[in-house]
Every structure is written in structure tokens, then in C-alpha cells.
Amino acid sequence: MSYPKKPLIAAGMWRPQYPWEHIAWISPPWGGDDFIWLDFPEAIFSDQGLLYLSHINPQFPCRFTELAKVEWEEHGGEIHYQRLLPNLVSWRGSISQDGRQAIKLRLQISNGSSEALTTIRLQTCLFMRAYYSLSAYTLSNKWIHTSTQGWVDLARAKNMAGEDGLYHFGWRGGPPIADLPVIACQTTEHHIIAFSWFSDTYSLISNPLHPCIHADPAVPDLVPGTQYEITGEIFFANQGFEEVEEHYGQK
């Protein structure tokens, strides 16, 4: 089965009261005019505290608030931006098409400060509410893969323990029960959208009341003057979870 179009990407907006957010709109390739929204990133945690948050949450006070708006730029089919924080930590985010089945994601983080930056954990949120066939407020249409039980929906995964996995199930931690660095969501028409940061994936989670899926990466410690780039992907499948498993098993 061929896709009727390539996936589309566009600079977007979610909450105008937070002009410092970086939202990309993504339209899957299987037709329709709805978009999913990528919060890119939603948050950057480190040993120096919460350096960046795309919105305001009193439970998670951020070191730097009321940041200036940074516009997306477009070049050669890619959208990208670059942000510099007051402590001279910066990052560049870019999103581009990768054939008819994938969106390529890149985040490059640089430590221009005078202090080492350690325990770096990011949150990258793929928000489903605006895409009707992905918008159910449930964990039962969201999946991770385990070595003993294969694909497991998150309603079951939250009660699992004892798995010998590589990737955590939870917010920036939790039990390592997933053996593939991917979280997937299935539409009501049985298409699948998968989200991964490949080997830099640290944790996989969902907020069913949002609803969203997270593939959240970790970045190695950065001494002053160094940088690190992570590469991720949003992958669209229409031949079932076997296609997703084969795709990420080869990466």
C-alpha cells in the first residue's frame, strides 16, 4: 500500500501566551488535513535545574522564564531554529522530511557556559489531540516493545516489572522494560505513528489526558565548550507493528 502524500511539516503554534515555545505541525502521509504537534523540546532538565520549559508549570519552576520568541526558519525543505539561554547554553533544533514514511529530527546542544552540564534529560512531546483518529484519552492505543511479551499497550506496561530492557518507562526514569527505543500510537484506522531518538532514547511515556506520547532523550555530560547532537525520527507505518519492529530492529 502506497501513501497518498509525503508527510508535511510546518512551523506552528500551540499556546500564544508562551511565545518562547517551539512547536512544529506535522501531517501524516496517509491523507487528511489534521496535524499532530511536536513540542521540540518541551523541557531540558540538568544538574543545574530545569533550564527550559515551553510553558509555565508551578510544579516545575524553570531557571529562565519569559524568554524571547525565536522564529523558525525554512531552508531546502527543513525548518530549524536556534536558541541561546542567559547562561550561554544553546541548542539548535531542525526537522525535515525523510522520504514518504518519516520525519527526521535533530537537536544539537552546546555548553557555552563556564560550568559542566550533567544529567541532561529532555522531554519531547508529540501531542495528538488535534488529530482525530489519534486523540483518544487512553493508554490502550499507545505501545512499547518488550523482550518477553513483544508489543505491550501502556495500560499493561505500567503494571510490568522484572523486564530486562534498555529503555525506561516513566517520566525521565522508571523501570527499564522496553527493548526497542520507540513508542507507538495506533490510529482508529490501524495506521501507526512511532517516535524514537534511537540509542539516545532514555525514557518512553504518555499522558493519556493530554493525550500525547513521549520519546525522551538523554544527552551525555557536556564540559564547557563542547556540544552533542542527537538524531530522532517520527516514523509512519501502515503494515502493522511488524513493520515498526523491523524498521527499528535494523537501526
- Residue ranges and CATH numbers for the domains of the chain are 8-249 (2.70.98)
* Mean pLDDT (whole number) for 158-180: 90
E strand segments, the chain: 8-11, 23-27, 36-46, 49-53, 73-75, 78-84, 89-97, 102-111, 120-127, 142-146, 150-153, 167-169, 176-178, 182-186, 192-196, 201-207, 212-219, 227-237
pTM: 0.94
* Mean pLDDT (whole number) for 78-94: 97
Query: Do residues 204 and 215 touch, judged by C-beta distance below 8 A?
Result: yes
Over the stretch 203-212, which tens digit does the pLDDT of each residue have?
999 999 999 9
Phi, psi of 200, rounded to the nearest 5 degrees: -85, 0
Over the stretch 136-149, which tens digit does the pLDDT of each residue have?
999 999 999 999 99
Pairing status of strand 212-219 against strand 182-186: unpaired
Percent of the chain with pLDDT over 70: 98
Residue 16 has pLDDT above 90, yes or no: no
